[in-house]
Structure 1
Amino acid sequence: MSDTAFSDLVLPPDGRQSETARAIQRGALRYLAARGLVGVPEFSLASGRRADIAALDLRGEVWVVEIKSSVTDFRTDRKWADYRAHCDRLFFAVGPDFPVEILPEDTGILVADAFGAGLVREAPLHALAGATRKALTLRFARAAAGRLMGLMDPEALRGVVL
């Protein structure tokens, strides 16, 4: 199967996100790709939390991007602090009208729309322990491969634990 055959495979929207959040997600994923990272949206962490985007660079550095579609979304959802244990860098991705000054100073900031994103602030590095990185990378690989397999043949994954 050629790489061009994969261009027809598209994940359906999961239905949990607002239109604004989907646009921010798309722009953030485009930004990550332009920087050489690959991302998995709605990535389940070992803690049971779900990161809006988990991404890997070529060296194996792990980024988590938390999407905030509104100030209310940011103020009512404090789960993001738990994501630090699962990444080397933690970012918020917000829309162009979001007041970025309310975001924590020890996180990175991407301002995104459906067409791309811009870096407002780089996230500080807080390196993962080797064993944590290995387990997270394996989880990432299985999630990404499982999603691709599911697109190609949804019945193939029955009973497979990702």
Structure 2
Amino acid sequence: MRDQRISFEDSRRHQIILSDEDDRLLKPFDVVVNSTGVGTLGRVAFVKRLLEEKTTVDSHVSIIRSDSKLISPQYLAWIMMRHQPMIEAAANGSTGQVELSKSFLEDIDVIIPERILVDKFTDFVNSIVKEVATKESENECLVDLRDWLLPMLMNGQVTVTLPDELQVEEV
């Protein structure tokens, strides 16, 4: 997690079989909080998309999931991201082994507006989140393409020819 985004770039696959009902499986709008580590503790993000249906986190990340009857997942995700500075400041432990306690996360006060306001917020946010998730996925594809092409460009295996309208005039 960085900049309130989840990067799947460094994710790993494990052979552990989880049932579809396992609480460790991520769901859209789950909030994830980095709960250990100097420099990373307290980073907050929410799940906009999953690369694979059965995706989970390791033991250094806490999952915060709303009870949608009480609060919308979209609203909780936004609130928790707004609390990131406070969460980052709540580290406990000795040097190098700082941790965020589960009870600290459970004790964060969340103001819940009237349902009609939360529903309007949810409707507004859903289309934006969908667009952001699409752009993140496209960016990952472009990074992969760049990483594949760059070595071939550097060693001369491929060249790039720009169309006339994109040619840069030398001054």
More strand as a share of residues = 1
TM-score range, shorter chain: 0.3 to 0.5
Q: Return the TM-score normalized by structure 2.
A: 0.33
Structure possessing the higher radius of gyration over alpha carbons: 2
